Amino acid sequence: MSGGARDLVEALGANRLRNFDGMNFWRKRLKIRVREGDIIVCWGHPLPELDGVRILNGDVKLYDKLGENQVLSGANIPTVYAVRGPIPKEYAQRGWEFIPRMANHVGGNDLLRRPARADFYVRKENIQSEFRIHSFNGKSIRAGIKVPRTPNPHPWIRSYDAGWRIDYDGFKSNEGMRKIAHKAVKALGLTFGAVDIGQLDNGNLIVLEVNRAPGIEGGTLEAYVRAIRKWVENPKAEAEDGAKSAPANRVQHEGEDRGNADPFERLRQRAAEIQGGREPAIPRPQRPIRRG
């Protein structure tokens, strides 16, 4: 868990949750039971829905970087052009340069150390500037621009390890940035995400990626604390928004008695299916947080 995520846990007065076995959470060898009425914030990996438990960024599909790109493209959101490979010859004839990427890259590490065997390829774009918009429930809670942090940063790989940082002081996003960021987060079924946006030499904006567990500190940490607390305190707004686009994985049987139903019965059934070998195990969420 990053330092910023730990600070978020502390600021929210929450408990850290780590490994999830399909029924319970574990922190080292300590079992942490989830009770009806609890609130869980997924910082990174999602969780299956738990009846009676509010989950932020939870009951959504986890995409790798190529899958995320395909979802954004399918939603008509401008993003980088990606192909699984091999690269068609006509693309080279057009003068397009493609960069090998890994499906689960972190922090642009595969750009600095290009993989011998790529999972997919993206067309290199002439990006003049990069921005980050923290979108939460359809609103921008923090925005910044990437600037050099070292005397000789990489000319176009704008990651921390490549000599860049995000400057939030005095930067104000425009409507186009905010609009494309909110659309990207919504297309992925998320409530919040840190959206990296590139501005091309012709002025057009494209989404580079959406981060579910961004690095946070200072004013960005404070912005997330305020946004999460507001989300916790206003379940009505969440219910109204959810009525417009209900989670795809939610199943409620006609005549179900919500008052007497066991909120964890569906989770136990799924765990039994996993143990019986009828489906692959649920991916363990890396860093969810529970409000204490």
pLDDT band at residue 207 using 50, 70 and 90 as cut-offs: very high
Cα-Cα-Cα-Cα torsion 206, 74, 286, 221, nearest 10 degrees, comes to 40
- For residues 103 and 56, membership in a common domain is answered with no
pLDDT, tens digit (0-9, with 9 covering 90-100), for 5-49: 889 999 999 888 777 776 678 777 788 878 888 999 999 888 888
Distances (CA, A) of 121 to 88, 115, 234, 236, 264: 11, 11, 42, 43, 41
- For residues 146 and 287, membership in a common domain is answered with no
Residue 102 falls inside a structural domain: yes
pLDDT, tens digit (0-9, with 9 covering 90-100), for 129-160: 999 999 999 999 999 999 999 999 999 999 99
Residue 32 falls inside a structural domain: yes
State the CATH number of the domain containing residue 166.
3.30.470.20
- For residues 40 and 182, membership in a common domain is answered with no
pTM: 0.80
Q: Write out the DSSP string of 140-174.
A: EEEEEEEEE-SSS--SS--STTTTEEEE-TT----
Number of compact structural domains in the chain? 2
Residue 222 falls inside a structural domain: no
CA–CA separation, 288 and 212 (whole Å): 11
Report pLDDT for 254.
33
Residue 11 falls inside a structural domain: yes
- For residues 155 and 77, membership in a common domain is answered with yes
- For residues 47 and 108, membership in a common domain is answered with no
User: Which pair of tokens denotes residue 188?
Assistant: 């992925």
CA–CA separation, 245 and 238 (whole Å): 11
- For residues 109 and 146, membership in a common domain is answered with yes
Report pLDDT for 12.
94
User: Which pair of tokens denotes residue 266?
Assistant: 């569906």
- For residues 21 and 104, membership in a common domain is answered with no
- For residues 173 and 99, membership in a common domain is answered with yes
Containing structural domain, residue 15: 3-60+236-248+260-291
Residue 253 falls inside a structural domain: no
CA–CA separation, 121 and 181 (whole Å): 23
- For residues 103 and 240, membership in a common domain is answered with no
- For residues 204 and 88, membership in a common domain is answered with yes
Query: What sign does the CA torsion over 101, 105, 107, 110 have?
Result: negative
Residue 73 falls inside a structural domain: yes
- For residues 166 and 80, membership in a common domain is answered with yes
pLDDT, tens digit (0-9, with 9 covering 90-100), for 219-256: 999 999 999 999 999 876 654 444 344 343 333 333 33
- For residues 139 and 207, membership in a common domain is answered with yes
Residue 226 falls inside a structural domain: no
Residue 225 falls inside a structural domain: no
pLDDT, tens digit (0-9, with 9 covering 90-100), for 84-127: 988 888 998 899 999 999 999 888 889 999 998 999 999 999 99
CA–CA separation, 284 and 22 (whole Å): 9
